[in-house]
Structure 1
Amino acid sequence: MPPGNPGRIVRSLAALVLMSAAVLPAALEVAAPAPSAVIGPPAGPLTDRGAPPAQNRIDLRVPGAAPSIDIRRAGDPANRITLVLLGDGYTAAQQPLFREQADRAWRALMEIEPFRTYQNFFNIRRVEVVSPVAGIAEAEDGRPTDTPLGMHFWCEGTARLLCADESATARYAGEDAGPQFLIALANSEEYGGAGGTGVTTLAGGSPDAGRIIQHEIGHTVGDLGDEYDSAPDDPDYANLSAVDADEMLRTHTKWWRWLGATSPDGGGVVGAYRSTNGLYRPTADSVMRTLGGQYNLPSREAIVEQIYRRVKPLDGAAPTPGVVTGRPRLQVSAVPLEGTRQLAVEWTVNGRPVAAPGGTWLDTAGLTLAPGARATVTATVRDTTDWVRDEAFRDRFMTRTVSWTLTG
């Protein structure tokens, strides 16, 4: 097996293959049974408060205790996905190295669409786990080193499958008000990682760490499958199918809405491209097939949908929706997108559309009501992205409505 490719934690027990443009034209990735799982169903400037002062540090002799630092706070954790970055095999003196590698990893993730556009749907938190020894177990016949998260290569006998003790990782990560995904970085320059369920892992010191996390998070956040030829023939993923394009169109299954669209991943027109394992993939190539690529359109849609299953497009409204007195300025707080496109806000009064120059707010001072009359003002926040073609999903998860009743 050629060296240099990360594994993916999946429901399958079979070995997988991934082509990596970064290492070899057709390098191998292998995977093994999943020992880890996702722990739960980022606007504003980046902030890094730094490590707490020594007198405020948590006693690391207590199992599962380590300093936790919010390095990117986009919103209330109750309505955000928190990516929790933890390190293993980094001594106290190597914590600056962990911080550097952790920052490089999450920033690489936010460079690829759709994570770039939806980065404000994520908070980023770093947990500085101090290890008594430097590095992790890398040898096939070596015993796991005495590190807090127990990270090691050769998980389940697979060279580049990098695993962690998920119970210990969850204990160090702690809980939050909303959903979390745990990302464990190993103090290693070897090439490896894993994703899918539970703790997403990567070798923090690998030159390809950023490209590894882009691929592995596709499994973890988007619930995507591997598109390479030797992946298990499991079509239970949004980007894999057991039937061809004609059958998708006939039965309205899988990515039938996308057939014929030009995909931004460089893989050509969305169709049904058959792999050696008998499954069909949406495009000739993508990041789920070759490291360093982009997500194809069906995969982007799957990731956006999984994000919206956890994060609502509306953070809140003021004043509190319901009956209000006077003529207040009504306002909604939509989760901001990165870039020029923002979530659409539509206002109506008694069901009739009205112009709102403020976009996210409406001044009701100009409304004329007869004495004793009432008016219902409604604001609808909606994500109109063309990366989603499932309109029923858009209506259910990507749209939120609030209303106020004004009295004359």
Structure 2
Amino acid sequence: MHRRQQDAFHAAAAAKWADITRVEPYASYQGLMNVWTVDAVSAESGVSGDPSADVIKDTALGSYFWCADTERLVCADIDKVASYAAKAPEADLVVVLSHSAKYGGAGYSGLEAEGYPFDGVSTLSSDNEQSSMIAVHEIAHSVGLLADEYAYDGYGTWPSGEPADINSSTYTTRQMAAKRAKWYRWLGETDPTGGTVGTYEGSSYYPYGIYRPTSNSLMRALNVSEFNLPGREAMIAGFYREANALSSEVGTGKAVLRTTRIKVSQAELTGLAAPELRWYVDGVQVKRANGLTGVVPAALGVAADGRTHTVTVRSDDRSASIRDPQVRAETTETLTWTVRASGHKTRTHR
């Protein structure tokens, strides 16, 4: 945006983020997220391709409609995006908010493999009435690695084998259940989109030969405000891949005394999330300490026996929105301290 429009940018960014975090599972898991705005001042206001393909604007991030000859697809110069993203602390995802009222957006993923410090970029317009839901959808490509679930009539039948995408499959319901593949754990469940999880033909742009989990979802259309159950689980997995739910100011690199108070911070998760905190001494759980955010090793049972012990805290998410053991494992984080349990020498008097 132009310099004189930076206040409008900050207001739009705050409003869009508030809209995004009203949608599940963003709402329940926003405690895993830190958000920064980075000012990118352009020589000209607007976006290339708005209102027509021949319009060229000199902008800081090189945003433009008509990417890949698709009018609503908004792309950006990723090298320029990276230079601005470097101003934010260790960004995992970048959202490019372009100054336009035109409908459009895009989602990039897999950028770390190309040498960028972040894995995803999502783009959207600042002033389109649907842009918040576009952001919810596009971020899902980058964070949840979800495919589009809509189809184009002209694409015909899916031409390839089983896709890697989490929410698209060539398997029918019977085949998926038999193979224990893709979203088989959710088959038959009532879905937040209002339907039932199954296999519905048409996904990944192809109307035939490939299936999606539900009749409708946020990855298919913006006339709903819910991800389906497989999509919701994929988003939660993505949040945990990019975030730390557990931290402590007491470093784990050096041994601590058995009298040292160890305090930890657990991300504030609500709604769909079901966080648990457990403590262990030498690998054995101390059940009475469940849920505590501060402990003293001696009170946990570390004896003054002159030996070295370990104290471990483990954070897990027992959310009912997670069924895949691999996703469950993504939610698990641990911190371990070595404890010097000094003993007392007894002197014998003669």
| 1:253 corresponds to 2:181 | yes
Residue 77 (structure 1) aligns with = none
Residue 238 (structure 1) aligns with = 166
Residue 322 (structure 2) aligns with = 388
| 1:136 corresponds to 2:68 | no
Question: Is the helix fraction higher in 1 or 2?
Answer: 2
Residue-pair matches, total: 318
Shift, 1:345, TM fit: 1.0
- Would the alpha carbon gap of residues 289 and 371 (structure 1) be closer, same or farther in structure 2, given more than 3 Å must change? closer
What is the aligned counterpart of 2:294 among 351, 361, 367? Answer: 361
Residue 116 (structure 2) aligns with = none
| 1:345 corresponds to 2:277 | yes
Q: Give the structure-1-normalised TM-score.
A: 0.70
Shift, 1:272, TM fit: 1.2
Residue 217 (structure 2) aligns with = 286
CA distance in 1, matches of 2:3, 2:45: 9
Q: Give the structure-2-normalised TM-score.
A: 0.81
Shift, 1:288, TM fit: 0.7
CA distance in 2, matches of 1:340, 1:238: 20
Shift, 1:243, TM fit: 0.5
RMSD: 2.6
- Would the alpha carbon gap of residues 206 and 336 (structure 1) be closer, same or farther in structure 2, given more than 3 Å must change? same
Amino-acid identity (%): 35
CA contact (8 A) 1:327 1:406 kept: no
Shift, 1:359, TM fit: 1.5
Residue 328 (structure 1) aligns with = 260
What is the aligned counterpart of 2:201 among 274, 280, 283? Answer: 274
CA contact (8 A) 1:383 1:399 kept: no
- Would the alpha carbon gap of residues 320 and 186 (structure 1) be closer, same or farther in structure 2, given more than 3 Å must change? closer
Highest relative contact order (Cα 8 Å, sep 6+), 1 or 2? 1
What is the aligned counterpart of 2:66 among 131, 154, 179? Answer: 154
Shift, 1:212, TM fit: 1.1
Q: Deviations over 1:287-340 (max 9, x none)?
A: 111214211111111111122222233223636476432423333222221459
**Corresponding residue SS for 1:170:** helix
Residue 27 (structure 1) aligns with = none
| 1:111 corresponds to 2:22 | yes
**Corresponding residue SS for 2:319:** coil
CA contact (8 A) 1:164 1:199 kept: no
Residue 138 (structure 2) aligns with = 216
CA distance in 1, matches of 2:272, 2:122: 31
Shift, 1:265, TM fit: 2.6
CA distance in 2, matches of 1:255, 1:220: 19
Kindly report structure 1 stretches of 4+ aligned residues shifted beyond 6 Å. none
CA distance in 2, matches of 1:357, 1:346: 5
5+ long unaligned stretches in structure 1: 1-89
Shift, 1:127, TM fit: 1.5
Residue 124 (structure 2) aligns with = 202
Q: Which amino acid aligns with 1:121?
A: L
CA distance in 1, matches of 2:96, 2:274: 32
CA distance in 2, matches of 1:164, 1:143: 15
Q: Which has the larger radius of gyration?
A: 2
- Stretch deviating more after TM superposition (294-303 or 125-134): 125-134
What is the aligned counterpart of 1:377 among 311, 327, 334? Answer: 311
CA distance in 2, matches of 1:171, 1:373: 51
CA distance in 1, matches of 2:218, 2:140: 8
CA distance in 2, matches of 1:162, 1:245: 35
